[in-house]
Structure 1
């Protein structure tokens, strides 16, 4: 991964169902589709996300590999990945089942250990259309917190606008854990949570919140990714 710009101001431009354009002020050495933007000075300081864990490659910012285990050295330290982003195909029930079956056959889990699928709302809608076209009925499952999700083989397909496009993740929660040194809290070691905003002549105060935690994985191959899928959103 290469850092192409620093301290730039980004302005969102035109938004469509498939793409979002942006413009910026500041120096950027190179740019292209698929680049990502992060808040100032946060690069490498955020938790590792699902896309970095459920993959058959090392996370972009961790050249030594996830948790220090490089895929080139530890061949089993990767998720089950089916598909190619450069050659998109339509979603189908056989593809979904192939992903599930490969995870079960290449890891130490049972199909019941796969508790959920995770995708962008566009892919959830693609699955719904597939069911309608194939005249397959699906149940709507009510999740904790009041969320509702469509299902495949009794497992919820949970949609999240922050999830990557053109893909579906199959997740075994028992293979993941939230490793936490300190829960979310406010800094108060000097005896006060609040501090006066610089300048001293304004009626304004600030506070600093912190959390020390990381997403851990015990067995990457107990999870899977179906990628390179066409979406119904145009």
Structure 2
């Protein structure tokens, strides 16, 4: 209920007013059943506008720290992320990656829509980076389609480092579902999962028009931080993200 209160009453109307969005291909989203949405990730705003303009509820897996902070601030955070459709996962410990996968698969088996950013983190420069394979494992184990969702213009609305969003126009493109049933029973085969991931990233590149770089975005960010004399972020624990699956993260 809180999710729809956010979407239609508290936040959605404001976003629609100040950030008019042209949505193309929404009919490509299956009307029922589990679905994995895979998107490019150029702004924190991506995770707000994607659920806003789709008819089905979209969930992202979020680190449990967003839900367990104490005090008034912690309660507000929990209220906000719950209302935004986030699902808490524990990213600590040796079994965290598998637990995150299992949570995603459980939601998909219930017929829900899960949002994932295969690049693993927000693009540092607007280009499209090499995808990680966690979503491919989920797709194979849950036997669900993968739907590309492209956001254009969110990097202008919410540039890297900006504290305030700037009113502007956005475009969202929903691509045709990608069916990987030909790989049924091959979950865990790293060559198959890499092939699936590369196919998805190529489709995202086609739809977004972004330049593709065959390097992980996390490495590029680490190199940039090193050049600036900043300590590198530990993979899976960096700020400014929402999801960290084995090979994926939304944020």
Q: Please say whether Structure 1 and Structure 2 have the same fold, judged by a TM-score greater than 0.5.
A: no
TM-score normalised by structure 1 residue count: 0.24
The structure showing larger relative contact order (alpha-carbon pairs under 8 Å, at least 6 residues apart) is 2
Q: Which has the larger radius of gyration?
A: 1
TM-score normalised by structure 2 residue count: 0.23
More strand by share: 1
